[in-house]
Amino acid sequence: MTIDISPVTTSRTDSLAISCVYAEESRGVFEDCLSGASISSDVEISGSVDDNGGCITLRISVRFGYGGECARCLDPVSGSFDALIERTVITDPEIPEETDEDYVSAPDGKLDLDAVILEELLLTFPTKLLCSESCPGICPKCGRKKKDGECGCDKKEIDPRLKILEQLLEK
Ligand SMILES: [Zn+2]
Ligand SMILES: [Zn+2]
């Protein structure tokens, strides 16, 4: 969604509270950058846009719950995402290049909140969901989850190049 922050960019006020919710019908826009996870709650945005002597700053927190599968063992994984986003708001449509600061452009006081949140998700949402950092995954032979115990498969993983060597040695 696009929010109107023109009261701040036109100096009619120096602080504007932001509070909005992306409910089920509108939060799908974020799921493409969630590594296969789906959002299981409303996406709640709260914060403010403030003008500190001509420097306009957007500060919002983004919160939602998500669910997905462990990338190693495929067990269901759920978690919550909570991030604080801070951007310097400029009203020029062009973002200055060669800068370390995070800028967001709001021409005519219109700020594209979706774009700000998407950018943050791409940068900070885990690229792989794991049931635990140390998840041992599944046995490549029988598919049993290793955390459920030993499956008894032959663990000797033979490198295909070594396999050729082994065949030569057997002759
Ligand atoms: Zn796992
Ligand atoms: Zn096995």
Domain boundaries, the chain: 2-135, 138-171
CA of 158 to the centre of ligand 2 (A): 15
pTM (two decimals): 0.81
pLDDT averaged over the chain?
A: 90
| Centroid of ligand 2 to alpha carbon of 143 (angstroms) | 6
pLDDT per position as a tens digit, 100-112: 678 999 999 999 9
Distance 146 CA to ligand 2 centre (A): 8
| Residue partners of 147: CB distance under 8 A and separation at least 6 | 73, 135, 136
Going from the Cα of 121 to the center of ligand 2, the distance in angstroms, rounded, reads 36
Output the CA 38–ligand 1 centroid distance in Å: 17
* Interstrand relation of 43-52 and 76-90 (parallel, antiparallel or unpaired): unpaired
Could you report the per-residue pLDDT of 59-73, keeping only the tens digit for each? 999 999 999 999 999
